Chains A and B, each alone.
Chain A
Amino acid sequence: MGLLARRNLFHDKVRFAVTLTGIVFALVLIIIQFGLFLGFTTTTSNNIDHSKADLWIVFHGVGYFDTGRTFSERKFYQVLATPGVAQAEKYMQAFARWKRPDGRVENIQIIGVRPGSELGQPWNVTSGSVAALKEEDAVLADELYKEKLGVQNIGDRVEIGGHRARVVGFTRGIRSFTTSPFVYASFKNSLDYTNPTSNETDVGYILVKAAPGISAETLKENLKKRLADVDIYTTPEFSQKTRFYWMFTTGAGLAVLTAALMGLIVGVAVVAQTIYAATMDHIREYGTLKAMGATNSYLYRVLIEQAVWSAVLGYAVAMIVAHFVVTASEKGGALILMPLEMKIGMLGLAILMCVTAALVSINKVTRIDPAMVFRG
């Protein structure tokens, strides 16, 4: 059975190449779309996920990261005074205008942090240091956006919101979903860059670290009793809300998921067509097997084994292609992620896709009249 399945599958090399191409095309399309989806979702919440905070306190009604609204600094001190709070930091996020050395203007997202704190810091710093943000006019940008921002080296000077700024370091791989690059500054500088007339006592977010032995949920409840006009989220909750907003409220995620679904449908259709054509080529052989006493389940196993072989080989080729695509994406603006779980899941999906595609052929084989072997 296994031998027949493999020989019939590999015998017609052109047909097998077509089958494999269909599977690879479908799988790569699905991998890229799902990878983009994962990349997008990770990008939308990367500042939250890397914050090392247990809780995020935001102005009431702020549903996601990129729409921060300031509130009174008094709440920051209320938080610090709450039992169970080990550490709290003021944090700012706001859009600003970045004037490049050549005069061109780009939109950016300023992230204001307290340099040297454990919470809310930029990560993957490849040159310079976070500590340098304490210096006057200091900012950190990401290598990915050097060209967009018109800077290449530490020490390059620009203007942000009409204020002088100086690049003191670079991070690697901190992407922005909004296409406005993240630029890190000290909390104080971030206020200057975004709203020169602001009262310095305003804050955008408060990041909270719970004391050892206190759960984030417990601390969240304690803080809720003390603070009015704010929403308090655990870090995973705020991350999830931000991801959900960008992926589903805006439709961006639905678009890539729909494309992935289309890839799956196209894949099933292509593979079904080629497996069906191959089955029809061998239909007399299946009739002979039936006449010889083969049960329907025996014939199903032949077809399913062919489908599984097609899936496994198509998957192997697709993974090689996808590896190159994913590697290339690391240098681009759109991140494509392919975690281990996705790699394993894709193998399952490939097998499911091919076995589903084989169902059409299985249906055909089930209906074969073995008496056909006596005709002509």
Chain B
Amino acid sequence: MSTKASNTVIRAAGLTKIYREGAADLRALSDVDLEIRSGELTLLMGPSGSGKTTLLSILGCILRASSGTLELLGEAVEKLPERELPRIRREAIGFVFQGFNLFPTLTTVENVALALDVRGMRRTEAEARAAELILEVGLAEKRKSYPADLSGGQKQRVAIARALAGDPPIVLADEPTAALDSTSGKNVIELLRRLAHEHGRAVVMVTHDPRVLSYGDRIIHLEDGRIVREETRQEEAVFAEAAVAS
């Protein structure tokens, strides 16, 4: 469990997302109420098309909800103009992507420093801070390597270091272990859990991976754009064991 006090950093109410596809409307999210707290690793689970990634995109201020309210660190996002959303993303959120999304022409340190450059930090300062983060994720010896020279697990750790560059209170991860072998996946999920438990960040992770169930503090199940079940870590571990046994 978390070692720091839990505060609600994201509060969503009645979130609905409707995509217009020709004459038809596609309802990706329906009336989702949700609270995300600091110090917790929250897993978003559900079958393909259940709305997990749409929900993550809305929580990350990348996508706007069709209706409903979203409060992020006390700021009502739905009332903000479009031009304010990049600021929210820079200040509050770090993203970890399934495909890593590293910049192939930059070294690991430069990849991380780029996230600080986006925030306006000077290059030397940014690279010094990036080197510290690379050290924290255990890749000090790879600081001058290019993404092409890294394994999948190493790439994802660089991506996590990049997500942490702006010291965001919220980390949103989209299937971060999907492309990794079991050892690398375990390392990555443990790293994400440490970010929540030891650093007090709110970590939200979309996953299909049953191997990670036991790491989540909360598991939110989505189906057809709705939250159908929410469980605490202990309940879900029992569920997972039963699932594996069957």
Contacts and interface: CB of A to CB of B under 8 A. Distances in A.
A376 B117 contact: no
Interface string B99-130: 10101111000100011011100010000000
Contacts of B123: 3
A371 B99 contact: no
Contacts of B103: 4, 7, 285, 288
A290 B63 CA distance: 12
A294 B86 contact: yes
B118 A371 contact: no
Contacts of A374: 53, 56-57, 62, 97-98, 174
Interface centre among A1, A8, A293, A294 (most CB of B within 10 A): A293
A340 interface: no
Contacts of A376: 99
B57 A295 contact: no
Interface residues of B, number: 32
A285 B93 CA distance: 18
Interface string A285-299: 100111111110010
Contacts of A18: none
A11 B56 contact: no
A52 interface: no
A371 B98 CA distance: 13
B87 interface: yes
B186 interface: no
B118 A370 contact: no
A7 B102 CA distance: 14
Interface string B158-179: 0000100010000000100000
A288 to B, nearest CB: 4
A4 B86 contact: no
Contact of B110 (A3, A11, A298): A3
B95 A373 contact: yes
A97 interface: no
Given A1-B117, A373-B95, A293 B101 contact: no
B11 interface: no
Contacts, number: 67
Nearest to B88: A293
Contact of B101 (A4, A284, A295): A284
B89 interface: yes
A258 B37 CA distance: 67
Contact of B95 (A3, A292, A298): A292
Contacts of B101: 284-285, 288, 373
B118 A298 contact: yes
Interface in A186-211: none
A11 B97 contact: no
Contacts of A8: 105
Contact of B118 (A3, A284, A285, A289): A289
Contacts of A373: 62, 95, 97, 101
B225 interface: no
B90 interface: yes
Nearest to B165: A292
Interface in A79-112: none
A293 to B, nearest CB: 3
Nearest to A370: B62
B39 interface: no
Nearest to A375: B53
Contacts of A371: 57, 62-63
Contact of B115 (A3, A7, A290, A292): A292
Contacts of B104: 11
A288 B56 CA distance: 15
B60 interface: yes
Contacts of B63: 371
Nearest to A12: B105
A11 to B, nearest CB: 4
Given A373-B95, A374-B57, A7 B62 contact: no
Contacts of A291: 60, 62, 89, 95
Given A288-B97, A293-B89, A294-B86, A7 B105 contact: yes
Nearest to A298: B118
B90 A293 contact: yes
A4 B97 contact: no
Most buried by B among A4, A298, A374: A374
Given A285-B101, A374-B56, A293 B87 contact: yes
Contacts of A294: 86, 118
Interface of B: 53, 56-57, 60, 62-63, 86-91, 93, 95, 97-99, 101, 103-106, 110, 114-115, 117-119, 123, 162, 166, 174
Given A3-B117, A288-B97, 18 more contacts: A3-B114, A4-B114, A8-B105, A11-B105, A285-B101, A285-B103, A290-B86, A291-B60, A291-B89, A291-B95, A292-B90, A292-B162, A293-B86, A293-B87, A293-B93, A373-B62, A374-B53, A376-B99
Interface of A: 1, 3-4, 7-8, 11, 284-285, 288-295, 298, 370-371, 373-374, 376
8 contacts: A1-B117, A4-B105, A7-B105, A290-B86, A292-B115, A293-B89, A371-B62, A373-B97
